[in-house]
Chain A
Amino acid sequence: MSDETSRASQPSNRASQSSGRALAGAVRYLLKNMGTSTLWYLVIFTGVLVALQPLVTLLSKPDAESTQIALAIVAVNSNNIFLLVMGIVYPLMLELYMMFGVTRRQFARALLVAGAALSVALAVVSGVVAWATASLDALALAGVLASNLLCFLLGWLAVSGFQLRRVLAAAGGILAAIVMASLASMPFASKMPSEILQHADWLPNWLRFVQEPAASLVCMLVMAALLALVLPLLMRQAKLKC
C-alpha cells in the first residue's frame, strides 16, 4: 500500500497533531478574519472622523485641545462598540467551525486568543490617538485595554444563552451582560452619575470604591477574568441544530 493511501485511511496515529492543527487553524483563521473586519472598521471610522471634524468644529467652536480630546473619547467608545459587536457575532460562528472539526472548547480558546489580540491592537490604536492628543496616561490606557477586552467578552456573554437554546438562558445572558456593562462603565461615567454615586447612601461601599481609576481597572480585569473562565464552560454546553 502506498504512503498516500495509508495516510488517508489511518484515523489517528497522528491524532494529536491533527487536533492541534484544528486549534491552531481556528486561531489563525479567526485572527485573519477579525483582522480584515478591523481594517475595514478603521478605514470607515477614520473616514467618518475626518468628515465630521470640520462640522463639529464649526458647530461647537471649541478650542483645538478639547476637540482633540473629544475625538480621542469618541475613538475609545467606538472601539468598545466595535468589540461588543465582534463579541456578539463571532461566537455565533461555532457551527461553522465545528463543520471543520473544531471542538467547542477549541473554538472558545481560539475566540479568547483572537479577542485578546484584537483588544490589544485597538488599544494600541487608541494609544496612538491619545499620544497625539496627550489625553491618556498609562493607567487610562490600561483601562482602555481592559474595557476593550471586557466589551468583547460582554458581547459574547449576551449571545451565550442563545447557544444553549433556552429562553431563560438567552434572557439571562443579555441581562447579565447589561448589568456587568453598567457596573464596568460606572467608573468611567461622566461627572453627573459620579456625583449621584457619591451622594447615594443606599449604594454599597465597594461601588464607591470603584470610582478610583486604579480600582476600576482592577474591577474590569476581575470581570474579564471571570468571563474568560465562565464563557468557555457555557460554550461547551452549546446545542447545535442541523
Chain B
Amino acid sequence: MQPPAPSPHGDPDPTGAMAPPESAPPAIELIDVTLRYPRQKKPALDGVSVSIPQNALCGLLGRNAAGKTSLMALLAAFRRPTAGSVRLWGQDPFESPQAMSEVAFVYQWREEGFASYCKPRELFAMAAHMRPRWDNAFATRLAERFDVPMRKSTSRLSKGQQAAVRCILGLAARAPLTIFDEAYLGMDAVYRKVFVDELLQDYLKYPRTILFSTHYISEMERLFTEALMLDEGRVLLHDDCDVLRAKGMALQDLFISLTLKEGESYE
C-alpha cells in the first residue's frame, strides 16, 4: 500500500487554506463506482467517477435518495462498491487500518444503535482512545458552547444537542478526511451559525479534506471550495465553486434548476 503523501506545502489559497502540491494524490477518487442494494432495482450509485483534491471543502448536494449517504458510506468503508474502485489518497479504504484511522464519518446514527446509549463524555473518551489527532480541550470547549450535557445518554438529549455531539466528534477528530452527512440537522439557526464559524476557523487552522452533505445550501455555499451534485445515483455537476461564483451562479439556484423534475415548481 502506498502511504498517502503529506499534504499541504503549497501556497495558501484566497480562503486561507493551504493548497496541496500538484503531485499529491487526490484525497478522494471514485472510478466508475456502482453500488446496488439487495432487492432494489435501481442502483444507489451508478457509474460515479469523481476526484476531489486534498484540503478541499466540498459540498455534496442532492435531493432525497440521490445517493449522498451511499457515497459517503463507501468512503468510510461502511460498504464496498458493487463495481468500480474507491481510493483515498491513492489506496482502497476498505479494511485498510491506515486509511480508516484518517477518516471521520459523522452521520445520524440510528436510534437503536449503541451510540444512542452512550453519554457524550463516553463518546469523547472513545474518540480520545482511538482517534490519533483528537483534541479533547477543543471538544470540551465546543460542548460548553453548544450546552451539551456530558452525563446524559445521547438518546435523552434534544435533536439539536445530538447533532452537536456528532459535529463535535467530527470537528475535534481533526481527521484528514472528515465527512459530515447532514451532521447539523436538528440544530437551531444560532447553533448552526456557531458550528459553521467553528468549522471554518478550525479548517483554516488545520486544513483537511471535508465532504459536507447538507440541504441547507444557502447557509453553507459560501464555505465550499467545490460542489458535487448527485441525482438518482449519478453525478449531475462537479465544479470549482469559485468558477461557479465567477459566472454569477448561486449554488442553491443552480441546484434547484438542475434537480427540479417535470411537473415540480419552486418559487
Interface residue ranges, A against B (CB under 8 Å) = 1, 4-23, 25-26, 28-29, 92-93, 95-106, 236, 239-242
Chain B residues near A28: list those with CB within 8 A. 129
Q: What is the bound-complex CA distance between A5 and B205, given in angstroms?
A: 6
B126 at the A/B interface (Cβ < 8 Å)?
Answer: yes
Q: Is the CB of B8 within 8 A of A6?
A: yes
A9 to B208, CA, bound (A): 5
Across the two chains, which residue of chain A brings its CB closest to B12?
A: A1
Known contacts A9-B176, A11-B176, A95-B114, A19 near B97 by CB under 8 Å: yes
Residues of chain A lying within 8 A (CB to CB) of residue B129? 25-26, 28-29, 100
Query: Nearest Cβ distance between residue A66 and chain B, in whole angstroms?
Result: 42
Q: Is the CB of B132 within 8 A of A11?
A: no
B4, CB-defined interface residue at 8 Å: yes
User: Does B167 interact with chain A (Cβ within 8 Å)?
Assistant: no
- A19–B6 Cα gap in the complex (Å)? 16
**CB distance A242 to B98 under 8 Å?**
no
Q: Determine if A9 and B101 form an interchain contact, defined as CB atoms under 8 angstroms apart.
A: no
Contact A23 B208 (CB under 8 A): no
Q: Do B114 and A101 have beta carbons less than 8 Å apart? A: no
Contact between chains at B207 and A22 (CB < 8 Å): no
Contacts of A93 in B (CB 8 A): 114
Known: A11-B102, A19-B101, A22-B100. 17 other contacts (CB 8 A): A1-B18, A4-B205, A4-B206, A5-B206, A5-B207, A16-B98, A20-B97, A29-B125, A29-B130, A96-B113, A99-B115, A100-B127, A100-B129, A101-B102, A101-B175, A102-B130, A103-B96
B18 cross-chain contacts in A, Cβ below 8 A: 1, 5, 9
Query: Are B130's CB and A100's CB within 8 A?
Result: yes
- Within 8 Å CB of B95, what residues of A? 103-105, 236
Question: For the complex, is B110 an interface residue (Cβ under 8 Å from A)?
Answer: yes
Chain A residue at minimum C-beta to C-beta distance from B70: A242
Q: Does B214 lie at the interface of the complex (its beta carbon under 8 Å from any beta carbon of A)?
A: no
**Contact between A9 and B8, CB atoms less than 8 A apart:** yes
Is B118 an interface residue, CB under 8 A from the partner?
A: yes
Complex CA gap A53/B212 in Å reads 60
Contact in complex: A17, B132 (CB < 8 Å): yes
Inter-subunit contact A11/B7 (CB<8 Å): yes
B54 touches A21 (CB 8 A): no
Chain A residues touching B, majority SS: helix
Q: Please tell me if the beta carbons of B102 and A12 are within 8 angstroms of each other in the complex.
A: yes
| A15 vs B98: C-alpha distance when bound (angstroms) | 5
Interfacial chain B residues near A15, Cβ < 8 Å: 3-4, 98-99, 101-102
Identity of the chain B residue whose Cβ is nearest the Cβ of A2 in the assembled complex: B205
Measured CB to CB, the closest approach of chain B to A165, in angstroms, equals: 8
Taken together as a complex, chains A and B put the C-alpha atoms of A20 and B76 apart, in Å, by 18
Q: A100-B126, A241-B110 are in contact. Are A19 and B207 (CB under 8 A)?
A: no
Partner of B73, one of A23, A97, A242: A242
Whether B8 contacts A1 by the Cβ 8 Å rule is: yes
CB neighbours (8 Å) of A1 from chain B are 8-9, 18
Q: Scan residues 103-141 of chain B and give those whose CB is less than 8 A from a CB of chain A.
A: 103-105, 107, 109-110, 113-115, 118, 125-127, 129-133
The one of A8, A19, A102, A103 that contacts B206, using a Cβ cutoff of 8 Å: A8
Min CB distance, B263 to chain A, in Å? 32
Complex formed: what's the CA distance from A29 to B128 in Å? 10
User: Given A8-B207, A23-B97, A242-B78, do A14 and B132 touch, yes or no (CB 8 Å)?
Assistant: yes
B183 close to chain A: CB less than 8 A: no
* A10, A18, A97, A99: the one within 8 Å of B98 (CB): A18
Contact indicator B130/A9 (Cβ below 8 Å): no
Q: Which residues of B contact A5 (CB under 8 A)?
A: 8, 18, 205-207
